[in-house]
């Protein structure tokens, strides 16, 4: 769920809901007078024209002098130098900083650090330039580093004509980053540097944004956390200023020499790729201009704090980035990989129980039921509406839910209601305790900063002041969550509105608290003349009668709105341009305007001049609110669920949030494009170290339909986080609502739940080593440049490939089978036969509605477990193995097992599988005791025939079959001979 107008503009409702007054009347605490609605203008800041679109904007490269390096001193791990302005200050977007310090560190054999900061930094300006390590982890020199001697990265610099630098890969001579030809600009509110890029470069990452996997070469990426409903190609909720650069080279067959291949499209040519990564550690607003031959990096504060990762593969880059800079992903509890159902609009516990019961009635697995803000007492955190979501009835519901092995996840918003001092019944102890703990952000004069969110006028927790100055936000938050959990035994937390969002511009409630509660300055979905009639593309083709009715109703509403609106007056927008001040920063409207989706930095956000305890301002730390509320929630849940792994899904994230939480893709729309974009969005978050990712399946905004929801429910079954969620007053979209969707869901869920051991093992490897869970084909097959921009299919781990249908009305899809030119073999999940394909060939795959093509990679051994209705049931079921032979007749795989919940892994089990010479071996180690037997083993690609099968030398006379046409050996009935547990002892399965 998100804030408006992104939400209001896109939200669609075909069912009327009551007005906000009626909604509040349902709650146990009602307003004592008519509710005041904030005027729409309350949301508006001054109009800001992004500099990249401003014809009057000054190009800093034309007028600024650059810097000159001097006092270069070698250090044990690099060098230091002084940088001084090389001419008269330009002061184009703020005062130039005259003197800078350069530090270069070879931190490890594959990591180079470059930092440029002002020479003179003290307590008065530290937050302008320095990002504290207490807020964001800072990579340091490895304890055993001798990187100056063995690094594959080389730093070189020049003063011709002004200071510039290059980072070179020594093994290939490739220039990875070069600011040659660019002047360094470093002002108190504007920093600019650039680098050349090779022709047709391949860059990935730079989020959060809805875009294809491969960044284009004529776009601008903005890093500024924004409350907005998933627009294409704009900044949205999170900030991840990291990118992966992959370059392909043609290999000379005679000499082995490498030549950069700008157009690597010849499937018959041998190529090799080299990848590197770049991370800019900075919490200020930033933007990167990607152009055909170069990039320009701009930030409105902070410093240049760059980390270069040599790779040379995506896997090595991603692992090095996580282990050095952001932390390894949090290990998730086993139950979190089950299916999650949510919507904005579940009105009471009884309706939740009906949903749970309907999943069981239709035979569809359900692991987790969620509630949006409906459960709250007037939309206030940590309080339930006692009329509809009472604690007593909730205890009964949750007791039954938990007894069935299911779980409950509620939403928690990021702003805290301020009670009306004129209304004694409006008491809100959560606010009182937070205020007494100095837990909230302030205005510059020390008064509370009061914005507006769902409940009305609200304050905002001061995570920054809590971390840096010891004020009470973290402890208060943990206490409130603990008190609430005593009343409602939730199993995890969903964090929303955490950019942080505010529906009015500035501290609009400071003088108006006696009006609380107030209505947001926009219509909610379902209010008068805010009924949405949008459906996916093609709805008129498959549902002609309904489409005609929708069209008529939509036209009627449009006419009603037109009749009540005043005539539009044509005006010319006068844009705000800020003149730099030599004495102070202008942080409300910075002199350089980044290309922020909301325009001014304070629109739908807390103003940049909101003040933290200790005196710092939001301008310097805006992008960290979502990161730090995740931090606070993680540690709060550690106290509540002692010894267990916290489960958190957060909306706004930053580099490092993955060590605490997962993320969902935000307020998407029920359109085919958003299903398409869910794949590159997920793959990007793999690069960002947040593998627990999923989107609102079937779409959040708008009405879905049978075809889209069928396809999407099947696609999302192969994302780590699998949730269906939709907007208030939209048509219901639980998968049992349509017979075709229910059947398609059961097909895909059966595969997912069967593969939970494989998924869990893959996630454990991500948690312990930094590997990825969802993978782009180009990462797993790095020497096939034709895969560089492929995101219409993906890998789950290294061994499973998914090729979904992403177009309306299609009964086939196209898929490429990577590696086949190098001896890879792929097996169809359903018929278990090998696929015939040529290198680089797009194969047309039959995929009627209800079928999602899935393939197993040859050379893989996949652990399975019999599917069930819950993960608890699955974990008690017998084991299985699917071994898919390579062309050489070999395969390998792993299984990781533990209790599925403990934070400290005391008892674990690791099983290695290997197939060779017509024998499958299982070898286990570890103290976790699993007593489930082995039920079946399926071996793909066995030939030419099988006459006998034995386990540990004992012949198996029955219970196995061999199909010579499909070359599948299926062995069943192993339960009795493995009754002590499939992995209680090592074994070998032979066939001949």
Q: So which residues are the catalytic ones?
A: 496, 499, 667
679: Cα separation from own chain's centroid: 11
DSSP strand pairing (934-940 vs 968-971) = antiparallel
- Within 8 A by CB and 6+ apart from 920, the residues are 861, 881, 883, 913, 914, 937, 939, 988, 989
CA 493 to chain centre: 16
| Alpha carbon 213 to chain centroid, angstroms | 13
Are 280 and 241 in contact by the 8 Å Cβ rule? The answer is yes
- Rounded to whole angstroms, the Cα distance separating 502 from 453 reads 5
- Residues 108 and 596: beta-carbon distance below 8 Å: no
Residue 22 CB neighbour total at 10 angstroms = 10
- Phi and psi at residue 606, to the nearest 5°: -70, 140
Q: Please, where are the H alpha helices in 592-671?
A: 618-621, 625-640
Q: Which residues pair with 101 in a beta bridge?
A: 82, 117
What is the spatial distance between Cα 606 and Cα 441, in angstroms, rounded to a whole number? Answer: 10
Q: Which two tokens stand for residue 763?
A: 């996630």
DSSP state of 91: -
> CA-CA distances (angstroms) from residue 48 to 37, 160, 500, 596?
26, 37, 20, 9
Query: How many Å separate Cα 117 from the centre of its chain?
Result: 31
* CA 387/CA 17 separation, integer angstroms: 18
CA distance 898 to 929: 8
For 803-866, the DSSP string reads: ----STT-SEEEEE-TTGGGT--EEETTT-PBPP--TTPEEEEE--TT---EEEETTEEEEEE-
C-alpha to C-alpha distance for 105 and 579, rounded to whole angstroms: 37
d(CA 139, CA 110): 13
CA 330 to chain centre: 13
* Strands, E assignment, 51-173: 67-75, 78-85, 99-108, 111-118, 153-158, 164-169
Query: Residue 491, exposed/middle/buried by CB under 10 A (0-12, 13-18, 19+)?
Result: buried
Q: Tell me the two tokens of residue 463.
A: 């995570």
């Amino acid at each position: 769920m998100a804030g408006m107008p992104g939400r209001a503009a896109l939200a669609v409702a075909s069912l009327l809901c009551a007005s906000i007054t009626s909604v509040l009347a349902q709650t146990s605490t009602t307003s004592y007078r008519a509710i005041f609605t904030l005027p729409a203008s309350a949301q508006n800041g001054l109009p800001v024209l992004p500099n990249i679109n401003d014809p009057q904007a000054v190009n800093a490269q034309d007028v600024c002098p650059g810097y000159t390096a001097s006092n270069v001193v070698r250090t044990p791990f690099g060098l230091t130098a002084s940088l001084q302005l090389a001419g008269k200050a330009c002061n184009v977007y703020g005062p130039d900083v005259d003197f800078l310090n350069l530090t270069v560190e070879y931190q490890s054999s594959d990591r180079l650090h470059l930092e440029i900061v002002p020479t003179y930094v003290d307590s008065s300006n530290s937050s302008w330039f320095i990002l504290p390590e207490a807020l964001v982890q800072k990579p340091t020199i490895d304890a055993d580093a001798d990187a100056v001697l063995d690094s594959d990265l080389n730093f070189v610099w020049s003063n011709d004509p002004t200071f510039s630098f290059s980072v070179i890969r020594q093994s290939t001579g490739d220039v990875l980053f070069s600011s040659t030809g660019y002047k360094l600009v470093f002002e108190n509110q504007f920093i600019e540097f650039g680098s050349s890029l090779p022709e047709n470069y391949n860059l990935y990452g730079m989020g959060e944004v809805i875009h294809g996997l491969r960044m284009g070469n004529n776009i601008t990426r903005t890093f500024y956390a924004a409350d907005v409903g998933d627009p294409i190609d704009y900044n949205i909720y999170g900030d991840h200023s990291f990118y992966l650069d992959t370059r392909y080279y043609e290999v000379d067959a005679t000499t082995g020499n490498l030549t950069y291949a700008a157009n690597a499209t010849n499937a018959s040519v041998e190529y090799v790729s080299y990848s590197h990564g770049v991370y800019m550690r900075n919490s200020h607003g930033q933007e990167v201009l990607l152009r055909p031959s170069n990039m320009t990096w701009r930030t409105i504060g902070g410093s240049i704090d760059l980390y270069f990762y040599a790779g040379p593969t995506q896997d090595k880059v991603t692992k090095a980035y996580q282990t050095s800079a952001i932390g390894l992903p949090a290990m998730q509890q086993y139950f979190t990989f089950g299916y999650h159902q949510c919507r904005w609009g579940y009105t009471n516990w009884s309706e939740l129980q009906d949903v749970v019961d309907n999943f069981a009635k239709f035979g569809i697995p359900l692991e987790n039921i969620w509630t949006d803000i409906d459960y709250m007492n007037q939309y206030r955190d940590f309080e339930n509406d006692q009329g509809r979501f009472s604690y007593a009835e909730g205890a009964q519901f949750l007791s039954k839910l938990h007894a069935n092995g299911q779980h409950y996840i509620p939403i928690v918003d990021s702003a805290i209601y301020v009670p009306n001092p004129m209304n004694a019944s409006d008491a809100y102890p959560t606010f009182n305790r937070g205020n007494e703990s100095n837990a909230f952000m302030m205005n510059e004069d020390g008064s509370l900063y009061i914005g507006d969110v769902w409940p009305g006028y609200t304050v905002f927790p001061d995570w920054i002041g809590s971390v840096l100055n010891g004020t009470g936000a973290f402890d208060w938050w943990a206490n409130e969550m603990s008190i609430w959990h005593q009343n409602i035994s939730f199993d995890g937390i969903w964090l929303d509105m955490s950019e942080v969002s505010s529906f009015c511009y500035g501290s609009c409630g400071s003088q108006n608290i006696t009006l609380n509660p107030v209505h947001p300055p926009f219509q909610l979905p379902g209010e008068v003349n805010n009924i949405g009639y949008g459906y996916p593309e093609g709805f008129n083709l498959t549902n002609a009668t309904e489409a005609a009715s929708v069209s008529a109703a939509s036209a009627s509403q449009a006419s009603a709105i037109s009749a009540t609106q005043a005539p539009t007056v044509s005006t010319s927008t006068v844009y705000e341009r800020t003149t730099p001040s030599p004495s102070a920063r202008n942080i409300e409207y910075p002199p350089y305007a980044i290309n922020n989706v909301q325009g001014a930095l304070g629109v739908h956000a807390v103003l940049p001049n909101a003040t933290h305890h200790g005196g710092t301002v939001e301008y310097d730390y805006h992008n960290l609110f979502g990161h730090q509320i995740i931090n606070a929630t993680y540690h709060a849940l550690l106290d509540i669920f002692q010894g267990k792994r916290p489960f958190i899904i957060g909306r706004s994230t930053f580099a490092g949030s993955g060590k605490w939480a997962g993320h969902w893709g935000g307020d998407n729309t029920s359109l085919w494009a958003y299903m398409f974009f869910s794949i590159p969005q997920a793959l990007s978050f793999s690069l960002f170290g947040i593998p627990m990712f999923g989107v609102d399946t079937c779409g959040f905004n708008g009405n879905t339909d049978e075809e889209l929801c069928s396809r999407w429910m099947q696609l999302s079954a192969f994302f780590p986080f699998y949730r269906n969620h939709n907007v208030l007053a939209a048509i219901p979209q639980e998968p049992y609502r349509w017979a075709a969707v229910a059947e398609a869901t059961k097909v895909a869920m059966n595969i997912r739940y069967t593969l939970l051991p494989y998924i869990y093992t893959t996630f454990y490897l991500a948690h312990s080593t930094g590997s990825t869970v969802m993978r782009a084909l180009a990462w797993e097959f790095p020497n096939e440049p034709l895969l560089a921009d492929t995101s219409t299919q993906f890998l789950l781990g290294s061994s499973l490939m998914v090729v979904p249908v992403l177009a309306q009305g299609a009964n086939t899809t196209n898929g490429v089978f990577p590696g086949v030119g190098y001896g890879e073999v792929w097996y169809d999940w359903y018929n278990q036969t090998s696929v015939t394909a040529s290198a680089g060939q797009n194969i047309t795959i039959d995929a009627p509605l209800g079928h999602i093509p899935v393939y197993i990679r040859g050379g893989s051994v996949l652990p399975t477990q019999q599917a069930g209705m819950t993960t608890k049931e699955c974990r008690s079921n017998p084991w299985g193995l699917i071994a898919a032979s390579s062309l050489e007749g070999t395969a390998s795989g792993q299984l990781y097992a533990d209790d599925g919940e403990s934070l400290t892994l005391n008892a674990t089990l690791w099983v290695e599988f290997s197939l060779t010479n017509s024998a499958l071996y299982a070898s286990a180690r570890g103290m976790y005791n699993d007593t489930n037997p082995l039920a079946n083993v399926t071996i793909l690609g066995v030939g030419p025939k099988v006459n006998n099968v034995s386990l540990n030398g004992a012949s198996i006379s029955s219970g196995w079959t061999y199909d010579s046409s499909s070359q599948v050996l299926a062995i069943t009935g192993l339960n009795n001979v493995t009754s002590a547990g499939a992995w209680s002892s090592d074994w070998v399965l032979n066939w001949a």
